[in-house]
Structure 1
């Protein structure tokens, strides 16, 4: 309820700002202003309705128009805010020019008798016209910029993921494990805006990497097995030498029936969930500990997953959120593979992510643990990615000094 209230207030505030700049600042009082005002009210109501209804099958038809407007709304605000300074400067210049124009256009007062017809300074209608022109020009620039950005973002989000190869040197890695390769994917977000081809393409691209291990690090779905089971079916075609593994993300806990039914479904598809547990990956006679913990939304148990192991071995932890590295560091983890951030998904959200997570995307070292954060292969909410293209990672492990 608190989240809903905050969301409603935020959406109302944003749409009031848009009304002032796109409606009040571009029209005179009258029918056009009334029509545009009520249209904006309707679009504002569409946002919270879409976010709430798309979790149900009934509301899936709202997904495209609702999320499309959400993206356009966001970038309209971004462009309008960026234009505030030049717009303000232009408005000041107009106000300074008005008295000069008025002084040149208002006729001198007649000393005897009142004028028969009231005289209106010529500068007043001229100033109003100039303000309308300024408002309309600002709205046009913001509108074109927002639509172009969203159009580009949709083509990026719905396009093929980028394969990001990365070599990660681990100090304790047994030299025999050097060259072990992980295909890492996260945040596929099967849902109302994705289709079967989305999953099929991801599976095909992973198989082409010829990886030793496939790691799916959370947020696979945005719905129940009954709704999305057919979209997940291609996962049974995943190929790797030592198997495919999965850890829960926060969205698995948001589904109506909880994560349990998806764990059973993934096992049927030959993808093994690691829910606070670990397995041994044996490669060329050497052993790597591969562990997985639940997302922080659930009940991650690091002791169960990592306690009592032989710390002379290298270990890789699958954990959906990068912030989970804070606890992983106490268990001697060498590498954590995570997702969750989407790389920000839509610039400038990449500047906000660091307020919650220690890594936005790519490889970093946190508390002595190397963390690789993949941008994810799907999207959440608007089918838009700007500055953060979808990603499948091919992570190759090497020992320090190895080639």
Structure 2
């Protein structure tokens, strides 16, 4: 019941995290209905499904090819999800800071949106065709134009297809009005009024003429500028009265421009932060993956033991834990580990659990290189919790066939010390849990050093009670993915390295492989060569 409640809580948390990431990475950065949003939304739905499939495929008995098919994308998404979420959490204060600015006034919005007020001397507007009287139109954006004597001063995104012809040409396109002797313009968010077609203010956009014939740029004659006419010319038509735009329309146009400014800013900030977060998460996961696929590095630790005889000084034990052969890490991974271990020329090899994540049928070929392990006093194996998920009995029998010596709650008396091994605590569900009395009972505790192989560090207190001098463990992966080490500390007495508990020393390896995502961040994989030292030298 408790497990089910925890599972539901974790599932609900994952749904909320994915929803939040979709808002920040997809909704805030893409246009509604566009193909980028559709593709990214599909990924936001499909990748979590693959992650769940990767987690349950093995235990559900799915064919191995199915496990391999869902493992790479499913497990890798879990790693990306972790660091993408952390990156977006870091970016959230920056987003709030960058979007914190005073609310723009209508005038500020007009200027910020590309609109402005232009004032100047007479000028000519380039044209492709004249604007016929009463037939022209302006379809407007958010610009403001002003000038004199037929001048066309173009704001944001304004183009002219022809000059304003005399005679009350109406140009409609928004909520603004331009009027004068040469015509009037209605278009945008402002009002212009003046002689000879002057545009004082407004929101000008494209000047479009109904005719296709080209004509030279229009310039009002001097007489028109002075309010008169040239000799022999027809009288100029009377100026059309100015048309006032409703104040509500003016305010609506300015508000719309302000919203456009704010929307553009939000999208820009969202895209920059999303790009930075994706780059940071991708780089982190990529480097962590390289570290695992490259293979573990050798770490050397010296452990002095009080009862170790002088003849055993310098005895080397190669400690290998958490190889985790499975749908991602296969035969090549085993080969790298075997070659690395053999290169250290150890006296004894100890594989302390979590060798596999699958059955002998699926992973037997991947484990075959273990038969090449070479050590003077042999190679030994104890079960980990993942062996019991995969069928511990079949794996114990298989590693024996490969030349390893399983220690199932058993002890091996070596020339210089006793080597004992206990089953993992996960075996208790099958009646095969650790039995310290069987493994360590009846030995000479006063004069003989005892080295214990136990997968999980949590049994250290049992080891102390039974007079163990050194316990070698794994299981924690060192946290594997930062900040997972902090969670690992809550469940284990030691996460990685060497620590002392009374008269017993505990060494915990970070492991040679990785579970789930083949990624390690802040906890590099290792093979540890533990060199025993005698106080009698």
Asked if TM exceeds 0.5, the reply is: yes
Structure 2: segments with no counterpart, 5+ residues: 111-188, 192-243, 428-432
Which string of whole-angstrom CA distances, capped at 9 and with x for unpartnered residues, describes residues 327-371 of structure 1? 111111111111111111122212221011111211112344211
Cα distance change on mapping 1:318 and 1:25 into 2, 3 Å: same
> Aligned equivalents of 1:273 and 1:326: distance in 2?
23
1:305 partnered with 2:305: no
Which string of whole-angstrom CA distances, capped at 9 and with x for unpartnered residues, describes residues 78-109 of structure 1? 21112222223223x2xx3224x556447999
Q: Which residue of 1 aligns with 2:114?
A: none
Asked if 2 retains the 8 angstrom alpha-carbon contact of 1:54 and 1:192, the reply is no
Moved more, 170-179 or 387-396: 170-179
1:4-403 map, 5 Å? 4-31=7-34, 32-55=36-59, 56=62, 57=64, 58-91=66-99, 93=100, 96-99=101-104, 101-102=105-106, 104-105=108-109, 114-116=247-249, 118-121=252-255, 122-255=257-390, 258-282=391-415, 287-298=416-427, 299-312=433-446, 313-400=448-535, 402=537
Alignment length (residue pairs): 391
Cα distance change on mapping 1:124 and 1:276 into 2, 3 Å: same
> Aligned equivalents of 2:285 and 2:379: distance in 1?
34
Asked if 2 retains the 8 angstrom alpha-carbon contact of 1:214 and 1:240, the reply is yes
CA RMSD of aligned residues (A): 2.2
> Aligned equivalents of 1:40 and 1:218: distance in 2?
36
Asked if 1 retains the 8 angstrom alpha-carbon contact of 2:51 and 2:73, the reply is no
> Aligned equivalents of 1:401 and 1:157: distance in 2?
40
Q: Give the secondary structure class of the aligned counterpart of 2:414.
A: strand
> Aligned equivalents of 1:265 and 1:304: distance in 2?
23
Q: Which has the higher contact order (CA 8 A, sep 6+)?
A: 1
> Aligned equivalents of 1:82 and 1:116: distance in 2?
42
> Aligned equivalents of 2:523 and 2:322: distance in 1?
13
Which structure shows the bigger proportion of residues in helix conformation? Answer: 1
Report the TM-score when normalising by structure 2: 0.69
> Aligned equivalents of 1:114 and 1:160: distance in 2?
73
Structure 1: segments with no counterpart, 5+ residues: none
> Aligned equivalents of 1:78 and 1:157: distance in 2?
22
In our comparison, the structure showing a higher alpha carbon Rg is: 2
